[in-house]
Chain A
Amino acid sequence: MASTGTAVVSLHAEVEVRRGTFTLRAALACAAGETLAVLGPNGAGKSTLLRALAGLEPATGPVRVGGRDVSALPPRLRGAGVVFQDHRLFPHLSARDNVAFGPRSQGGRRRDARAEADALLLRLGLGDLGARRPRELSGGQAQRVALARALAGRPTYLLLDEPLSALDTEIRAEVRGFLRTTVDGYDGPCLLVTHDAVEALTLADRILVLEGGGVVQEGTPTQVARHPATPYVARLVGLNFYRGQLTGGRLTVDSGGEIACATGDLSGRALATIRPSAVTLFADRPHGTSARNLWPGRIAVVEVAGERVRVEVASTPPVVAEVTAAALAELRVRPGDEVWAAVKATDVDVRT
């Protein structure tokens, strides 16, 4: 583990940044070993918050790392490990020397720093790429080297700024795997800035939603997804998601119930997400539907959000449907009524 020997601490911050007409005001807490996703639309102030925590953006308010306020310290003395969206590997240094840069800058001997760099590169599946320059690496490899570089500095807290967003979809899945392993194995506080809801749901223990420079919601992925506080959160995070065990195209949900998925032979631990708009509601058991998932349950909550209505069904597993107001009126159902929720297997998005 890269942070061996470093005291394990938590992160508490109340950051305020003023830039022109934009003001960011956010309070956050992240425990040791916890991953906090900072989720929000473009321009919400996510990256500004991360930069303020790293000391790269002038800000006011305390940033406590294990009770010690580091807000007056320059970036190099804060002990933050930062992974940038655009990897920012030094173009004139090999992958190995990029990773060794932190230990070297902190006064480590060249040989020790290189040995540590090689060990980290090996751990991230880049053992044979140490001699390559950044321009000779693929996007995914470069981002993994950047991850190794941030860890090599033995950071007391880890800040990841949209680490996957610059990557192609296929490569993203591969790097996400390494990212999850790293984040899970890291014993300090870890902040992950993202605008990708699935990334936040899969990688984070808790989610902080930022909009227009302020915190609009904070909670576990389940809480945020179940009860989105704003229309943005509802649209983005308001996904049905289920953790469970996947075998032969069926996900056995941890909290009960089964979901048919179009995954073929995949198996193992998995996370399934279903868009609420992909859920169809029926007042009576439907006949002749091709949907392989058909769950009866009572309507728990009905929320109107403009043209759309969110209907929470207490089925097994529980599901949130998003229907038009007209469709709901046609169903003639009210909270407490029994309905049938239908979901096609192809509408279940599964990630292992």
Chain B
Amino acid sequence: MRRGRLPVVLAVPAALGLLFLLLPLLGLLARAPWHGLPHLLGDSTVLQALRLSLICASSATALSVLLGVPLAWVIARLRFPGRRVLRALVTLPLVLPPVVGGVALLYAFGRKGVFGPALSALHVDLSFTTAGVVAAETFVAMPFLVVSVEGALSSSDLRFEEAAATLGAGAWTTFRRVTVPLIGPSVGAGAVLTFARALGEFGATITFAGNLPGTTQTLPLATYIALETDPRSAIALALLLLAVSIAVLLLLRERWLRPGPQS
């Protein structure tokens, strides 16, 4: 088909779709209290929530890289029965309603959860703590990293790993000195996506970690609460999150985040 011609049957729904996606953002910008913005964002509750959000999202991203890259390697590189099932399980949080994730975390790692007593014995308390926020965010966001890295590993062939093996490199040396540098850009892209998802996490966090200002009240939670008490503040917070999202998109456009040249 020749490019450039736009049939009406496609043009109308396409335009409607675009409007539907853009109008809410325009509404947000139109109602934004631009003059009071510095004052609203300077509020101590907001700053507290922002600080907590950044700390938790960064921790969740670090944790996801630490656990997710090896997990992606296992799924992509090893051949074992049940590999497909494992891959499906790993990606489940992507489609699972976050509140279900929160409930599941509560009954697994909460004080009365299946593994709660074991965690208590180790002096680890996840429910209604900042650590719980990190856990909830990691649960929801890590699949983004695993999927991104696993995709990179599966599409890159084994040529360089083979070459490393003939040079006497063991599995760990090959992983550290060959595989990781080659998939670095994908790990970066996955980490940015993971960070963005963790930063916006709401359902699992409020269910599992609660909504305690200073401890578990992250930016999305603060935004939701503010909507009932101080709508202007809620809009300001929403703008802040929107700015972060746009920054993430710009970061992902950068060249260093694209899969690198393979030869």
B169 near A: Cβ within 8 Å? yes
B-chain residues with CB within 8 Å of residue A84 when the two chains form the complex = 159, 163
A74 near B: Cβ within 8 Å? yes
Interface residue stretch chosen among A101-109, A189-197, A285-293: A101-109
Q: Is the interface of B mostly helix, strand, loop or mixed?
A: helix
Taking a contact as CB atoms under 8 Å apart, the answer to whether A56 and B162 are in contact is: yes
Query: Would you list which residues of chain B between 90 and 114 have a CB under 8 Å from chain A?
Result: none
B-chain residues with CB within 8 Å of residue A268 when the two chains form the complex = none
A-chain residues with CB within 8 Å of residue B260 when the two chains form the complex = 91-92
Q: Which of B170, B177, B182 contacts A91 (CB 8 A)?
A: B182
Query: Would you list which residues of chain A between 212 and 231 have a CB under 8 Å from chain B?
Result: none
Taking a contact as CB atoms under 8 Å apart, the answer to whether B166 and A54 are in contact is: yes
Measured CA separation A76–B165 after assembly (Å): 5
Query: Would you list which residues of chain A between 66 and 86 have a CB under 8 Å from chain B?
Result: 74-78, 80-82, 84, 86
Taking a contact as CB atoms under 8 Å apart, the answer to whether A102 and B160 are in contact is: no
B170 (CB) vs chain A CBs: closest residue: A76
Taking a contact as CB atoms under 8 Å apart, the answer to whether A134 and B166 are in contact is: no
Query: Would you list which residues of chain B between 142 and 187 have a CB under 8 Å from chain A?
Result: 159-160, 162-170, 173, 177-178, 181-182, 184
A149 near B: Cβ within 8 Å? yes
Question: With A91-B263, A134-B263, A135-B261 in contact, is A105–B164 under 8 Å at CB?
Answer: yes
B-chain residues with CB within 8 Å of residue A149 when the two chains form the complex = 167
Q: Report the number of A-B residue pairs with Cβ-Cβ less than 8 Å.
A: 68
B178 (CB) vs chain A CBs: closest residue: A90
Question: With A92-B181, A101-B177, A105-B173 in contact, is A153–B160 under 8 Å at CB?
Answer: no
B262 near A: Cβ within 8 Å? yes
Taking a contact as CB atoms under 8 Å apart, the answer to whether B262 and A91 are in contact is: yes
Taking a contact as CB atoms under 8 Å apart, the answer to whether B164 and A82 are in contact is: no
Question: With A86-B159, A88-B159, A90-B178 in contact, is A135–B166 under 8 Å at CB?
Answer: no
Minimal beta-carbon separation of A255 from chain B (angstroms): 40
Measured CA separation A101–B162 after assembly (Å): 13
B-chain residues with CB within 8 Å of residue A153 when the two chains form the complex = 166-168
A102 (CB) vs chain B CBs: closest residue: B167
Contact with A along B181-207 (1 / 0, CB 8 A): 110100000000000000000000000
Taking a contact as CB atoms under 8 Å apart, the answer to whether B167 and A101 are in contact is: yes
Minimal beta-carbon separation of A116 from chain B (angstroms): 13
Question: With A82-B163, A88-B162, A90-B160 in contact, is A105–B263 under 8 Å at CB?
Answer: no
Measured CA separation A77–B163 after assembly (Å): 13
B181 (CB) vs chain A CBs: closest residue: A92
18 contacts between A and B (CB under 8 A): A75-B162, A75-B165, A76-B165, A84-B163, A86-B159, A88-B159, A90-B160, A90-B177, A92-B181, A101-B167, A102-B167, A105-B164, A105-B170, A135-B261, A135-B263, A153-B166, A153-B167, A153-B168
The chain A residues found within 8 Å of chain B, CB to CB, are 54-56, 74-78, 80-82, 84, 86, 88, 90-92, 101-102, 105-106, 134-135, 149-150, 153
Please name 16 further chain A to chain B contacts, defined as beta carbons within 8 Å, in addition to the given A90-B177, A105-B173, sorted by A numbering.
A56-B165, A76-B165, A76-B166, A88-B160, A90-B160, A90-B164, A91-B160, A91-B182, A91-B263, A101-B167, A101-B169, A101-B177, A102-B167, A105-B169, A105-B170, A150-B167
Q: Which 8 A-B pairs have the closest CB atoms?
A: A105-B169, A102-B167, A75-B165, A88-B163, A92-B181, A82-B166, A105-B168, A106-B168
